[in-house]
Structure 1
Amino acid sequence: MTFSIVARSGQALGIAVASKFLAVGAVVPAAEAGAGAVATQAAANLRYLPQGLALLRTGVPPADVVAGLVAADRERAHRQVGIVGPEGPGATYTGEECLDWAGGRAGDGYAIQGNILTGPEVVEAMESAWLSSPQEELDRRLLAVLAAGDAAGGDRRGRQSAALYVVSPGAGYGGGSDVACDLRVDDHPDPVGELRRLRDVHELLFGTPDPGTLLDLSGELKEEVQSLVAERGYASLDMWVGVENLENRLVSGKIDPVVLARLRDAAPDGK
């Protein structure tokens, strides 16, 4: 009922998943910075998530984690799981009674798996997309892989939900957690497309500015910004940025072109 990728890039670990299943992001993924990432699907066994992470935390390789999880599971013939750790190859398992088409592929830093798919071309397209984009940031790379699987046929029952979950040390909001991205589309006719849109919104609101593109907030530009902020009913750029949830892009004495474009496009009432 599901296709997913579990992967690592540098210190970042993440999962992207799509399914003809309500709120797949509430069931399939789990990850912990420094430990690893796990996806449980088909007849998902939610115990695999904490148990898998506990084993990864102690340094057990993904292949051995998979072996341990399924060996203790009487229903393993109906399970599918993918795991990556902080180094080395990922591991994937598909029980012999998972509904066709079902299978997976794994390699250095990734595991791809799916069940009730249109055919093996889904995981083949996903693996090709993963291997062809080594320079991309992990969240974008995972979404490209998911989109490749969706375009290749995906879940043969149709589309309903998708999710993206990425962790990296200190990458959460304000540096207060390791959760870099936790986005879910629970029920939508084009969940992968909607997930990509949400990722773009997430980058806008929670991304940080590129230092090389920052503009000096002086002269005519400073006057323009002050005028636009006043037109929108705010006393300062800081106040408008806070209302727009763009505070991660605020730099003293500078302005992020992303913020400037948003300010120029904003309606006078700030909506």
Structure 2
Amino acid sequence: MTFSIVARQGEAYGVAVASKFLAVGAVVPAARTGVGAVATQSFARVAYLDELLGRLAAGEPADEALAAATALDDGRETRQVGVVGVGSAATFTGSECNPWAGGVARDDGETAYAIQGNILTGPEVVDAMERAWHESVREPLARRLLAALAAGDAAGGDSRGRQSAALYAVEPGSGYDACGVLADLRVDDHTDPVTELARLHADWELYFGKPEDVQPLEGALASEVRDRLARAGFVADDVATALADWAGNANYEARLSPDGIDRRVLEALRAATS
């Protein structure tokens, strides 16, 4: 009933998942900074999330942790699970999962992933997700997870249709107030949940992402920014103070930089004052 990717890139861990199931993000994904990430699906056993993260935290590699957890579960043949830890990745598909069901897991040291799905249109869904993961190698983790999810959706996804999707990822120092949550987004009931999830993530990055492509507030750019801020009703003795006031009002304070103005903040300011 679900397809997902669980992955690690550097110190970041995350899960992206979609399903013809209400609020799939409330059931399937979990991740813990410095430990790993887990997806439980197909008659999901939610207890796997804490159990597997606990085993990973204790130093067990993903394949051993998954084998131990499923061995204790009488319902394991109805389950499907993906696990990624430090230096390890594993996937499990029980023999009683509804077809098509299967998965793949790989670890190349710097990155690792487990991709799995059940009640899919066919193996092409997993294949497409794996290709998208590799083709997005230059992107940060959350974007790679979304790229893989979108590829699986485009390849057919859940054979019953679409309803919900979710993205949950962690990374030290990321997110609002550097809380470590790289992304925490859910689309619980939607006709095109994967596309909607990507839209929400673009907004999430704008509000909670780190400054990028920062330009000094000098010369013509400083004059433009000062003029646009004044048009928006934000005037101060210096342009940096006015910018901080406007950014705080618009909830862009995570992207403020002492070195100038972030590219996406500048784009938002231009759009707001065009």
Pick the TM interval, shorter chain: over 0.9
Task: Point out 4+ residue stretches in structure 1 off by more than 6 angstroms.
Answer: none
> Separation in 1 of the partners of 2:71 and 2:118?
20
Using the TM superposition, name which of 233-242 and 42-51 deviates more.
233-242
The 3-state SS of whatever aligns with 1:84 is strand
Using the TM superposition, name which of 150-159 and 201-210 deviates more.
201-210
Q: 2:117 aligns with which of 114, 134, 138?
A: 114
> Separation in 1 of the partners of 2:139 and 2:266?
26
Tell me the CA shift for residue 199 of structure 1. Answer: 1.2
> Separation in 2 of the partners of 1:264 and 1:168?
31
CA contact (8 A) 2:175 2:208 kept: no
Q: Residue 100 of structure 2 aligns with which residue?
A: 101
Question: What amino acid is aligned across from residue 77 of structure 1 in structure 2?
Answer: E
Q: Residue 134 of structure 2 aligns with which residue?
A: 131
Q: Residue 208 of structure 1 aligns with which residue?
A: 210
Describe the shift of the 1:117–1:178 C-alpha distance in structure 2 as closer, same or farther (beyond 3 A). Answer: same
> Separation in 1 of the partners of 2:135 and 2:258?
39
Q: 1:247 aligns with which of 230, 233, 253?
A: 253
Q: Residue 22 of structure 2 aligns with which residue?
A: 22
Cα distance per residue 1:163-188 (max 9 Å; x no partner): 1111112223121x221111111111
CA contact (8 A) 2:61 2:86 kept: no
Residue 142 (structure 2) pairs with residue 160 (structure 1): no
Question: What amino acid is aligned across from residue 138 of structure 2 in structure 1?
Answer: Q
Using the TM superposition, name which of 225-234 and 70-79 deviates more.
225-234
Q: Residue 12 of structure 2 aligns with which residue?
A: 12
Q: 1:188 aligns with which of 184, 190, 195?
A: 190
Unpaired segments ≥5 residues, structure 2: 236-241
Question: What amino acid is aligned across from residue 98 of structure 1 in structure 2?
Answer: C
CA contact (8 A) 2:228 2:273 kept: no
> Separation in 2 of the partners of 1:267 and 1:227?
10
Tell me the CA shift for residue 230 of structure 1. Answer: 2.1
Tell me the CA shift for residue 219 of structure 1. Answer: 3.5
Tell me the CA shift for residue 260 of structure 1. Answer: 2.0
Q: Residue 146 of structure 1 aligns with which residue?
A: 149
The 3-state SS of whatever aligns with 1:214 is coil
Cα distance per residue 1:80-132 (max 9 Å; x no partner): 101010113x1111111111111111111111110110111111111122233
CA contact (8 A) 2:103 2:126 kept: yes
Tell me the CA shift for residue 135 of structure 1. Answer: 2.5
CA contact (8 A) 2:5 2:145 kept: yes
Question: What amino acid is aligned across from residue 24 of structure 1 in structure 2?
Answer: V
> Separation in 2 of the partners of 1:150 and 1:139?
17
Cα distance per residue 1:170-213 (max 9 Å; x no partner): 223121x2211111111111111111111111111112222xx3
Identity of aligned residues (%): 59
CA contact (8 A) 2:132 2:147 kept: yes
Tell me the CA shift for residue 253 of structure 1. Answer: 5.8
Cα distance per residue 1:115-163 (max 9 Å; x no partner): 1101111111111222333332111111111111111100000001111
Q: Residue 271 of structure 2 aligns with which residue?
A: 265
Unpaired segments ≥5 residues, structure 1: none
> Separation in 2 of the partners of 1:82 and 1:200?
26
CA contact (8 A) 2:210 2:254 kept: yes
Tell me the CA shift for residue 216 of structure 1. Answer: 2.5
Structure 1 length-normalised TM: 0.93
Residue 69 (structure 2) pairs with residue 69 (structure 1): yes
CA contact (8 A) 2:80 2:97 kept: yes
> Separation in 2 of the partners of 1:30 and 1:253?
36
> Separation in 2 of the partners of 1:221 and 1:133?
33
> Separation in 1 of the partners of 2:268 and 2:180?
28
Question: What pairs with 1:37-52 in structure 2 (closer than 5 Å)?
Answer: 37-52=37-52
Q: What is the total number of aligned residue pairs between the two structures?
A: 264
The 3-state SS of whatever aligns with 1:215 is coil
CA contact (8 A) 2:164 2:189 kept: yes
> Separation in 2 of the partners of 1:215 and 1:136?
22
The 3-state SS of whatever aligns with 2:34 is coil
Question: What amino acid is aligned across from residue 200 of structure 2 in structure 1?
Answer: L
> Separation in 2 of the partners of 1:93 and 1:253?
48
Describe the shift of the 1:56–1:264 C-alpha distance in structure 2 as closer, same or farther (beyond 3 A). Answer: same
The 3-state SS of whatever aligns with 1:77 is helix
